[in-house]
Amino acid sequence: MFQSFDVISNPANVAPRVAKLRVEMEKLGLDGFLVPRADEHQGEYVPPRAKRLAWLTGFTGSAGVALIFKNDAFIFVDGRYTLQVREQTDLSIFKIESLIDTPPSVWLAEHGKGLTIGFDPWLTTIAEAKALREALEKIGGRLVPVVDNLVDLVWGDQPSAPLEPVTIQPIAFAGEEAASKLDELSRAVSKAGATATVLTDPSSIAWTFNIRGKDVSNTPLPLSFAVIGKEGEPSLFIDKRKLPIETEAYLTQLAKLRSPGSLEDYLRSCGAEGDAILLDPALAAEKLRMIVEDAGGRVIEGTDPARLPRALKNEAELDGSRRAHERDGVAMVSFLSWLDEQVPGTIDEIAAATRLEETRRSVAESFQMPLEDISFDTISCAGPNGAIMHYRVNTDTNRMLNEGELYLVDSGAQYRDGTTDITRTVPIGTVSDELKRAFTLVLKGMIAISTARFPKGTRGMDIDVLARIALWKHGLDYAHGTGHGVGSYLAVHEGPQNISKRGAHELMTGMILSNEPGYYKPGAFGIRIENLVAVTEPEMLEGGDIPMMGFETLTFCPIDRRLIDTSLLTKEELVWLDAYHAEVREKLLPHVEGKAREWLVTATETLG
């Protein structure tokens, strides 16, 4: 099993750990100290060594910040985690704040007068540090970088840095040679007026060099840094203990291999030469800016030059994604048909998640494309647990799938040819009309995105409303984005593309995104339906004046017909749903047998 269901947070640990941290704060004369959920690369998934926020607070979500004072403490989380954080941390120690509405910089602007706040510049981006510094300086406060992270000083059994082997991503799946990508990035560095750039995001490094790793769970990343100049040989800062002979020989042809510990001295030498270094303020650590500028160099702020090219999937990557989703669809059909055979009240959330992972593994083997990992811990939630948007089942919270309730399963896989992410919500036994109504309203939003047509230049924020309008008309909504970008055997959450109220980047051909509206009633149920889609080339429509882009659906798995109130669907929506199910049947039926085959035929019958 890639996923563990052990209880990994204990609120009873919070008070003594915070007390130890406060001792270290006092030694440095700090009024407060920031503990973000981040590592030196600012990634969503971090190695065990970097899970400082979870160790200190008990909160295990993928986004959050703790702010510790001498006599008070706060934890900032977004809307996905408002229920989870209350269960995991000690509420007698931590007060909860919104990471979106009042992030630490905004909160400190109101409450930080005259305070000295410590932070680890390796774990804070340039943009975050700037916002914090400006907020404090306006009211007589100070932001002070620490040399040693204070959590590390009190975390006695902190794990070591990962040393998992790095592999080469075959050109058949990558679609472009690494040398070509490096040339493209060198041109981008020159265009930005910089001498070199530092790639800090391991996803960008993995994509650029066509390599993959296993340094963090769920995402095939080799933790490393790279410096790419406008000319000359690139440098890759990676621990050679991760490199098998073949991988090292391959990388040696592309870059000078250097130890991670030499990065600081290398950048100091660049700064001493007066070099201009391109850094992404939203991704690069503040420490990197400090090193370059303190040495006499200049920082040019700009976007990671690999970020957009990485998001624009080439045809090999799109073909790989199509194959991965067809394979994944077979696994989902096998799992859902099995689930339908189970008597309500006899299967729990852990058993269901375990069965799904085992099914994915066996189906992948039958296709001779191994399951490399799951793309995130399966969100397996029954009844009221479904209302916790990013619920992670463990042995304490494990719940039976009971008669009359909904079961929501959000899961994904990592295959060499693609990354998947799919959510299906299904009834356990007979469910109420209230649940069917809510499910159908969510489905209307999902269909609206699937069928959307839009001109070049359209941003995610421009179409987000399409997924919400049916819910809004009934006084309902959901507190998460409608869609996130997805990588190609890389991160399941990828930028810059997204569909949300803040999705400011235009949607471009080849981008893969999720389409996942939902609705959550606290203490009762949760509903989410999710497919992945790819942005298509602009094309002229019959009778139209300008070319329109759209979405190609990549995910193929039945949407539960038993939860659909057809009276709430328009004719166009019914036509789309029937056509989708016909394509699901066509693609998957040749790969399933026995009861799963019978189940698939029934699950894809027409409704219109």
Q: Output the domain CATH number for residue 433.
A: 3.90.230.10
Task: Identify whether residues 498 and 542 lie together within a single domain.
Answer: yes
Task: Identify whether residues 141 and 179 lie together within a single domain.
Answer: no
* Residue 200's CATH number: 3.40.350.10
How much is the mean pLDDT over the chain? Answer: 97
Sign of torsion over alpha carbons 116, 34, 146, 20 = positive
Task: Identify whether residues 256 and 185 lie together within a single domain.
Answer: yes
In a domain, 303, yes or no: yes
In a domain, 2, yes or no: no
Please give the helix or strand (H or E) that residue 136 lies within, else none. helix 126-137
Task: Identify whether residues 212 and 83 lie together within a single domain.
Answer: no
Q: What is the pLDDT of residue 125?
A: 98
Task: Identify whether residues 303 and 354 lie together within a single domain.
Answer: no
Overall average pLDDT of the 265-276 stretch: 97
* Number of domains composing the chain: 3
Task: Identify whether residues 132 and 278 lie together within a single domain.
Answer: no
DSSP 498-547: EESTT--SBP-TT-EEEE--EEEETTTEEEE-BEEEEEPPPBPPTT-SS-
pLDDT in tens, 316-371: 999 999 999 999 999 999 999 999 999 999 999 999 999 999 999 999 999 999 99
Share in percent of the chain as helix, strand, coil (round to 5):
40, 20, 40
What phi and psi values does residue 141 have, to the nearest 5 degrees? Answer: -100, 180
Name the token pair of 57: 């607070």
Please give the helix or strand (H or E) that residue 72 lies within, else none. none
Overall average pLDDT of the 298-319 stretch: 98
pLDDT at 608 over 80: no
In a domain, 605, yes or no: no
Task: Identify whether residues 81 and 214 lie together within a single domain.
Answer: no
Please give the helix or strand (H or E) that residue 490 lies within, else none. none
Q: Which of 266, 291, 310 is the last residue of a domain?
A: 310
In a domain, 607, yes or no: no
Percent of all residues in the chain with a pLDDT value above 90, rounded to a whole number: 96
Q: What is the pLDDT of residue 62?
A: 87
Overall average pLDDT of the 538-551 stretch: 96
How many helices and strands in the chain, by DSSP H and E?
Answer: 19, 27
Task: Identify whether residues 330 and 303 lie together within a single domain.
Answer: no
Task: Identify whether residues 57 and 176 lie together within a single domain.
Answer: no
In a domain, 593, yes or no: yes
Q: Which of 93, 120, 154 is the last residue of a domain?
A: 154
Helix, strand or coil, per DSSP, at residue 550? coil
Task: Identify whether residues 144 and 132 lie together within a single domain.
Answer: yes
Overall average pLDDT of the 382-399 stretch: 93
Query: Among the listed ranges 155-164, 383-392, 395-404, which one has the minimum average pLDDT value?
Result: 383-392
In a domain, 6, yes or no: no
Reported confidence tier of residue 7, pLDDT bands at 50, 70, 90: confident
Task: Identify whether residues 397 and 453 lie together within a single domain.
Answer: yes
Reported confidence tier of residue 227, pLDDT bands at 50, 70, 90: very high
In a domain, 604, yes or no: no
Q: What angle do CA 33, 37, 39 make, to 5 degrees?
A: 100
Reported confidence tier of residue 82, pLDDT bands at 50, 70, 90: confident
What's the rounded Cα separation, in Å, for the pair 230 and 399?
Answer: 56
Reported confidence tier of residue 113, pLDDT bands at 50, 70, 90: very high
Task: Identify whether residues 222 and 342 lie together within a single domain.
Answer: no
In a domain, 37, yes or no: yes
Which residue segment(s) compose the domain that 214 sits in?
Answer: 167-310
Amino acid at 157: D
- Local structure of residue 3 (DSSP, 8 states): -
pLDDT at 106 over 90: yes
Q: Which of 154, 181, 201 is the last residue of a domain?
A: 154
Selection from 511, 415, 398 nearest residue 463 by Cα: 511
Is residue 275 left, alpha or beta, with left meaning phi > 0 and alpha meaning psi from -120 to 50? beta
Burial-class residue 294 by CB neighbours within 10 Å (0-12, 13-18, 19+). exposed
